[in-house]
């Protein structure tokens, strides 16, 4: 059961990161899709689980798949809460790429914190959907509040590239 919980939260990472600039998923009515009964496949070169320390670490070409979402990274760390059956935090490191249909979130580091419902993507974060994209130094999405923040830095400003859809802009009269 704990394995399903953490992968569902990882999938939420994709959904949140890919909607960071407010574009809804194609055909999706809600951000939170119930995937609990869908099969999950996680592959990696190595897994180290520490039940006493309430941590599991997948390393080496990590790929986590469930339904239409795939998460790629070099290292995936799962931290469980005090009871050991709830995920407290998930950390993905090294060439993080989260894919769902035409939406892709990338960065060097991603953290999902369950209590505040916050996902933070850093390490040259970028979220794209089709031709649209947003970049900054930190992309943060608050799941429970359906809001996001994109921060720039000293050497990089926030940049959004949005291509109007055909028929979405009406001429002025």
Residues 123-133 have pLDDT tens digits of 999 988 888 99
CA distance linking residue 122 with residue 78, whole number of Å: 18
- Is pLDDT above 90 for 158? yes
Q: Tens digits of per-residue pLDDT, 41-88?
A: 779 999 999 988 999 899 999 997 777 778 899 999 988 888 877 778
Token couple for 65:
């798949």
Q: Are 158 and 134 in contact (CB under 8 A)?
A: yes
CA distance linking residue 60 with residue 114, whole number of Å: 25
Q: What does the buried/exposed string (b/e) look like for 6-17 if buried means 16 or more CB atoms within 10 Å of the residue's CB? A: bbbbbbbbbbbb
- Is pLDDT above 70 for 165? yes
CA distance linking residue 103 with residue 122, whole number of Å: 17
pTM: 0.70
In the chain, what are the domains?
A: 2-161 (2.60.450.10)
Q: Tens digits of per-residue pLDDT, 97-155?
A: 978 777 788 999 988 777 787 778 999 999 888 889 999 999 887 766 767 799 999 88
In this predicted structure, what is the pLDDT of residue 61?
Answer: 96
Q: What is the DSSP string of 32-43?
A: ----TTS-EEEE
């Amino acid at each position: 059961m704990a394995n399903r919980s953490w992968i569902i939260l990882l999938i939420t990472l994709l959904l949140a990161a890919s909607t960071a600039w407010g574009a809804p998923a194609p055909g999706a009515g809600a951000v939170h899709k119930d995937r609990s009964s869908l099969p999950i496949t996680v592959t990696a070169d190595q897994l180290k689980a520490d039940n006493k320390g309430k941590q599991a670490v997948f390393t080496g070409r990590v790929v986590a798949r469930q339904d239409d979402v795939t998460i790629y990274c070099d290292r995936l760390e799962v931290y469980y809460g005090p009871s050991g059956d709830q995920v407290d935090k998930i950390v993905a490191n090294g060439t993080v790429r989260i894919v769902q249909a035409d939406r892709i979130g990338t960065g060097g580091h991603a953290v999902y914190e369950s209590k505040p419902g916050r996902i933070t993507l850093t390490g040259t974060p970028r979220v794209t959907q089709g031709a649209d994209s947003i970049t900054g130094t930190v992309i943060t999405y608050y799941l429970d509040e359906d809001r996001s923040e994109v921060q720039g830095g000293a050497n990089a400003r926030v940049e959004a590239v949005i291509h109007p859809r055909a028929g979405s802009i009406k001429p002025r009269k």
